[in-house]
Amino acid sequence: MKRRPRRSVPALLTALVLLAACVLVCVSAVQLILGERPWISYETVAATLHNLRWTDVQPALAGGFLAVAGLVLLLAAVMPGAATVLPVDGPFHSGVARGSYRSALRAAVAGVDGVSGARVKLRSRRVKVRVTTTRTRPDGLADAVRAAVTDRLDRIGPATRPAVAVRVRAPRRTA
Q: What does the pLDDT look like over 103-158, one tens digit per residue?
A: 999 999 999 988 898 999 988 789 999 999 888 888 889 999 999 999 999 988 88
pTM, 2 dp: 0.60
β-strand partners of 127: 122, 164
What pLDDT does residue 163 have? 92
- Can you give the residue ranges of every domain in the chain? 8-78, 85-169
Whether pLDDT at 57 is above 60: yes
85-169: CATH number: 3.30.70.1350
pLDDT at 1 over 60: no
Give the contacts of 67 (CB within 8 A, at least 6 positions apart). none
Q: Which residues pair with 158 in a beta bridge?
A: 88
Please report the DSSP string for 17-44 in residue order. Answer: HHHHHHHHHHHHHHHHHTTPPPSS-HHH
pLDDT of residue 102: 92
Once rounded to an integer, what is the mean pLDDT over residues 71-98?
81
pLDDT of 159 reads: 84
Partners of 126 in the β-ladder: 163
Task: Give the separation between CA 100 and CA 107, rounded to whole angstroms.
Answer: 10
- Give the three-state DSSP class for 166: strand
Query: In the structure, what pLDDT confidence band is assigned to residue 30 with cuts at 50, 70 and 90?
Result: very high
| Exposure b/e, 84-94, CB count within 10 A at least 16 = b | ebbbbeeeeee
User: Which conformational region is residue 140 in: left (phi greater than 0), alpha (psi within -120 to 50 degrees), or beta?
Assistant: left
